[in-house]
A and B are shown apart, each in its own frame.
Chain A
Amino acid sequence: MTGQHDGVGQGVAPPASSTDLATVLPPAEPRRSAVVCSGLTYRFGTHTAVDHVDLRIERGETFGLLGPNGAGKTTTIRMLTTLLRPMEGSVSVLGIDAAAQPMRVRRMIGYVPQLLSADATLTGRENVELFARLFDVPRKVRGDRVEGALAAMGLTEAAGRQVKTYSGGMIRRLELAQALVNSPRLLVLDEPTVGLDPLARTDVWEFIAKLRETADMTVLMTTHYMDEADTYCDRVSLMHRGSIRATGTPGLLKAMLGDNATLDDVFRHYTGGTLDDNTETGGIRDVRRARRTARRLG
């Protein structure tokens, strides 16, 4: 899965429309990490939300940033997506510093925020076209790319309908289509399945998994659903009170604790508490309930 398209245009003749593009491409550096955070810190007043976080995400992997609400996951993501400027340390995306060159970093990122955030008064197609325009996708290819992104997320049939008629899972898929329309190098998903019913969650995961099979894309997601991270992430970092407590493949982290350990156990081991202890907003209880429902439904 790693690096099929590491050198873009390498060995492949670019289409006529982008010949001049080949000359402006930076030299291929195939081994550049997708994301590097070093000493990344952010404070809200006296509260240190992100505390000297060091993190390296390799290209092509699906990386999960795990932790309870308030662990600092979203603040980390906001610095990475150029929404917040790091107070200390740095974060770079594919070798480009997010604080120094935010515009270049934004061009490489597809971002799906925590809330369902498509414009309900527009159609699905218009929502995707809006982002194609905002990412300067050339007019010549815009129509094809919009249809392609909609097709990739299984929304071709619903594309002409206003989003207010969509279900939660469909809106999430539409947001993925919005993020994909620019062919991002890094897809950032902030709690991609929070607030969705169990069936919609599985549905969304299937599409993300399909994406991973077909596209050479690095995926960074935050979640507090340990079971989802276990199933879908190549590597995970456990985040607690602003710092990273452990990083590794889910298998390795579990194996270190012995047989039959779950990621929940791993988390408890590294943080000295359960997820519930650290919940300020009380969302976890709902999560547990949803997970029980999911189990019941099989």
Chain B
Amino acid sequence: MTSAAPGVPPAASAEAVLTEPGYVGTALLPPPDTPIAIARRLASRIVTLCWVELRKIRHDRTELYTRAIQPALWLLIYGEVFTRIHAIPTPHGIPYLAYLAPGILAQSALFIAIFYGIQIIWERDAGVLTKLMVTPTPRSALISGKAFAAGVRSVVQAIAVLILSALLGVTLTDNPLKLLAAMAVVVLGSAFFSCLSMTIAGLALSRDRLMGIGQAITMPLFFSSSALYPEKIMPGWLQVISKCNPLSYEVDALRGLLIGTQAHLALDVLVLVLATVAGVTASALLLPRLAR
């Protein structure tokens, strides 16, 4: 048993970790339960899990490239064709491709987020989830962290779609603040849809079932939103569904910010924030089911 003299700077050695006398870990800190402490811990967990997500993207970029193929096809083939035939009326007669680009941006973020629950099922099967739940991380902070990590992944993807759109001649805003705001909207939207996915994961409890449900709901979510066409030309019943679909609000905000169409930004953000809070709550409540 070694006992290092006091005042000796902690060295990065095995001995230091095991016997460093002054270090008490965080074990004896009083339980932080003031609102500020709770908010700080939440922020810290979100930053940590986003950091992990960025490291993973850095280690393996193939997913970024393969996931860029689908939005590219939507813009290149569907977008070009429908721009040419002028079948879909756009506000102020802007080119259809410009109208479509924010919709495809939201779609590619949706596709990433809606399957994010698979990761939590994988973590449960591998025992990682129980290990995370034994750290001083409240369930809601764990879910929020994962939701925003999905947002980070979506933003990286969104940037690829933005660049692609610009290359295809879509005139996007050059206001950096609006671009940043658009990315924030992408993060919020992905946070909600990943919570939806994690909620389904908490109910389905298996990867295969989640895959099936995910496949079954992505396209309806996409087609019942204003991603491809304005609400005005939808039949009445679809307009009602679209009004309940958070994706419509995400698309509306992105269009307003990126190509300057008329948008209800405050309402859009409010809906997305409320949806995300509800999503975090639902999946946090279901988390113990997963960890059982």
Q: What residues make up the interface of A, taking CB atoms closer than 8 Å to B?
A: 4-5, 8-9, 12-15, 18, 21, 24-26, 78, 81-84, 101, 103-104, 106-109, 111-119, 121-123, 126, 130-131, 133-137, 141, 143-145, 147-149, 151-153, 162, 175, 178, 180-185, 211, 213-216
Interface of B, secondary structure class, is loop
Would you call A83 and B128 a contact (CB within 8 A)?
Answer: no
Would you call A152 and B135 a contact (CB within 8 A)?
Answer: no
Would you call A133 and B134 a contact (CB within 8 A)?
Answer: no
Contact flags (1/0) for B201-230 with A, using CB distance below 8 Å? 000000000000000000000000000000
Provide the residues of chain B in CB contact with A152, threshold 8 Å: 14, 17-18
Would you call A215 and B19 a contact (CB within 8 A)?
Answer: yes
A112, A126, A141, A151: the one contacting B23 at CB < 8 Å is A141
A83, A113, A136: the one contacting B26 at CB < 8 Å is A136
Q: How many positions in chain B have a CB within 8 Å of any CB in the partner chain? A: 51
Assess whether B87 is interfacial by the CB under 8 Å rule: no
* Supplied contacts A130-B48, A143-B12, 20 more A-B pairs, CB within 8 Å: A4-B1, A8-B28, A9-B21, A9-B24, A13-B6, A15-B10, A15-B22, A21-B28, A24-B28, A25-B28, A83-B130, A103-B136, A103-B138, A115-B126, A135-B25, A136-B136, A151-B12, A152-B18, A153-B14, A214-B2
Would you call B131 and A144 a contact (CB within 8 A)?
Answer: no
Binds A, one of B49-57, B72-80, B171-179, B184-192: B49-57
Number of cross-chain contacts by CB at 8 Å: 169
CB distance from A261 to the nearest CB of B (A): 33
Provide the residues of chain A in CB contact with B31, threshold 8 Å: 101, 103-104
For the complex, give the distance between the alpha carbons of A137 and B135 in Å: 12
- Kindly list the 10 A-B residue pairs having the minimum CB-CB distance in the complex, ordered from nearest: A148-B17, A115-B127, A152-B14, A117-B127, A147-B12, A183-B25, A215-B18, A134-B135, A151-B14, A133-B48
Would you call B55 and A126 a contact (CB within 8 A)?
Answer: yes
